[in-house]
Amino acid sequence: MRVPINITVNGEEYHLEVKPNRVLLDVLREDLGLTGTKKGCGLGKCGACTILLDGRPVHSCLLLAAQADRRQITTIEGIAAEEPHPLQAAFVAKGAVQCGFCTPGMINAAKALLDANPDPDEAEIKLAIAGNLCRCTGYNQIVSAIQSCTPSKSDLQAAERGESNE
């Protein structure tokens, strides 16, 4: 048995028929070829599969594809158009990407945070990425990269470099 679903992924509409027990992560990766979303634990514990569902971060390994019917989905492939998203550029600049396996999920979690709260403090950033595990960086570079995309920290860093907005 299959169920029909209509989903919008990165602005593109898809009409699919899926088995009721298929999770969204597998549909994105295997049916749509959007392999930027990573499969880590498959159990909701690592955050590698984090995508945005109607703008909110969710673990796509725990969400049935049928539950995403008529919802808007953003994957890492849809975060940026031609230029990298500022968060992506900041992750590279700050050394927050090492093996890169956690990065798509981290970027999505961070984007959801900044969309809802453009100037979070450090505690709020750490809370926003608490469900995303990184085996490589020790997290400091990731927090620093996200901070560098906030108005207060980017102003501070510009001042430290001797730059001025005036």
Q: Which residues bind ligand FES (CB under 6 A)?
A: 39-42, 44-49, 59, 61, 97-102, 134-137
User: How near is the Cβ of 142 to ligand FES at its closest, in Å?
Assistant: 8
Task: Specify the residue, 7 or 109, whose C-beta has the smaller distance to ligand FES.
Answer: 109
Task: Specify the residue, 53 or 162, whose C-beta has the smaller distance to ligand FES.
Answer: 53
Residue 154 makes CB contacts below 8 A (sequence gap 6+) with 148
Buried-state track 102-115, b at ≥16 Cβ within 10 A, e below 16: bbbbbbbbbbbbbe
Task: Specify the residue, 5 or 107, whose C-beta has the smaller distance to ligand FES.
Answer: 107
Task: Specify the residue, 46 or 149, whose C-beta has the smaller distance to ligand FES.
Answer: 46
User: Counting every residue, how long is the chain?
Assistant: 166
User: How near is the Cβ of 51 to ligand FES at its closest, in Å?
Assistant: 10
Query: Whole-angstrom Cα distance, residue 27 to residue 42?
Result: 13
User: How near is the Cβ of 102 to ligand FES at its closest, in Å?
Assistant: 3
User: How near is the Cβ of 73 to ligand FES at its closest, in Å?
Assistant: 15
Query: Whole-angstrom Cα distance, residue 140 to residue 3?
Result: 44
Closest-CA residue to 122 (of 145, 101, 102): 145
DSSP string, 89-146: HHHHHTT--SS-SSHHHHHHHHHHHHHH-SS--HHHHHHHTTT---SSS-SHHHHHHH
Task: Specify the residue, 88 or 137, whose C-beta has the smaller distance to ligand FES.
Answer: 137
User: How near is the Cβ of 91 to ligand FES at its closest, in Å?
Assistant: 9
